[in-house]
């Protein structure tokens, strides 16, 4: 079982604490750090509620210091680490111009020695889309084209792509990713996300909202991705499953039985000393005993 840390950038946005978290996590044996994205957050009466919290608000993130750009935060900590994976959970891909984003992601992967993994999703806040000048209503179609276009840019020396929303012809996009491409983990739990993960995903990062039963939801969506992948002629085992919701050996064993490959936890410590102690204890008590799951 692999273990990662979620909300890394929003829990530790400040420079000193960000570096301390990354170094400590790498030292004790965490496999990866994962950072969310919201370019802007709509506020005020009548805005679309945020589905990730029971009250529909992101106030707790503001109090911690906001939501840093995930690629910038990961690049910052990458310069002071050597092995820990650098992940997003998730970048709202249709809010970005896909060629520009492909270049940024490939550059980070190249500079970090091939450590980048991109969790990507379509998001849920129309006000956020409006603020960056992107259409909310066709985000699913643009997501699919962006995935295809980025992979062409990453894998082909001279790339062309012609879609309804993304178009380019005979272009180079260097540097390219160290391992030939960047692994894409599709986020979400909708039927569309399940189909997209089965079709495009190197991995799947399901989202379990407030009030939903964790194991019931995970069983449904993981089974759905595997079924869709088989129907497309893909080996379902090739799609890496990353989920949260486990902090003990027993919980990790239950997740492994579902076919989960990576578990992610949120850090509870507030100070650098507390974080060092928490991560070292967790590595000894949980990561080491579950390494063979």
Please check whether residue 141 is in contact with residue 192, taking contact to mean a CB–CB distance below 8 angstroms: no
pTM, 2 dp:
0.96
Residue 239 CB neighbour total at 10 angstroms: 23
Domain made up of 2-290: CATH architecture: Alpha-Beta Barrel (3.20)
3-state helix, strand, coil in the chain (%, to 5): 45, 15, 40
**Tens-place pLDDT, residues 31-68:** 999 999 999 989 888 999 888 888 888 777 777 788 99
Which of the 8 DSSP states describes residue 47?
A: P
Share above pLDDT 70 across residues of the chain, in percent, rounded to a whole number: 100
Classified as helix, coil or strand, 237 is helix
User: What pLDDT does 56 receive?
Assistant: 85
Instruction: Give Cα 86 to chain centroid, integer Å.
Output: 9
Classified as helix, coil or strand, 119 is strand
- The residue ranges of every structural domain in the chain are 2-290
Classified as helix, coil or strand, 121 is strand
Rounded Cα gap, residues 161 and 146, in angstroms: 10
């Amino acid at each position: 079982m692999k273990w990662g840390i979620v909300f890394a950038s929003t829990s530790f946005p400040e420079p000193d604490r960000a570096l301390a978290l990354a170094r400590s996590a790498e030292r004790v044996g965490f496999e990866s750090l994962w950072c969310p994205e919201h370019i802007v957050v709509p506020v005020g009466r009548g805005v679309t509620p945020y589905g990730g919290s029971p009250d529909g608000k992101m106030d707790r993130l503001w109090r911690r210091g906001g939501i840093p750009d995930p690629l910038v935060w990961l690049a910052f900590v990458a310069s002071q680490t050597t092995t820990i994976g650098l992940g997003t959970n998730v970048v709202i891909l249709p809010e970005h111009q896909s060629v520009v984003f492909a270049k940024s992601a490939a550059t980070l992967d190249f500079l970090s020695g091939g450590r980048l993994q991109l969790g990507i999703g379509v998001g849920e806040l129309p006000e956020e889309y409006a603020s960056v000048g992107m259409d909310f209503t066709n985000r699913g179609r643009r997501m699919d084209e962006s995935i295809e276009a980025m992979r062409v840019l990453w894998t082909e020396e001279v790339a062309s792509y012609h879609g309804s929303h993304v178009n380019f012809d005979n272009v180079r996009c260097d540097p390219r990713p160290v391992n030939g491409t960047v692994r894409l983990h599709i986020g979400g739990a909708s039927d569309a996300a399940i189909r997209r993960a089965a079709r495009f995903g190197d991995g799947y990062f399901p989202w379990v909202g407030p009030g939903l039963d964790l194991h019931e939801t995970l069983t449904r969506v993981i089974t759905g991705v595997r079924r869709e992948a088989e129907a497309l002629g893909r080996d379902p085992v090739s799609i890496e499953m990353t989920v949260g919701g486990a902090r003990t050996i027993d919980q990790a064993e239950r997740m492994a039985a579902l076919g989960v490959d990576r578990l992610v936890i949120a850090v509870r410590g507030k100070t650098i000393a507390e974080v060092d102690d928490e991560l070292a204890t967790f590595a000894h008590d949980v990561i080491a005993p579950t390494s063979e799951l």
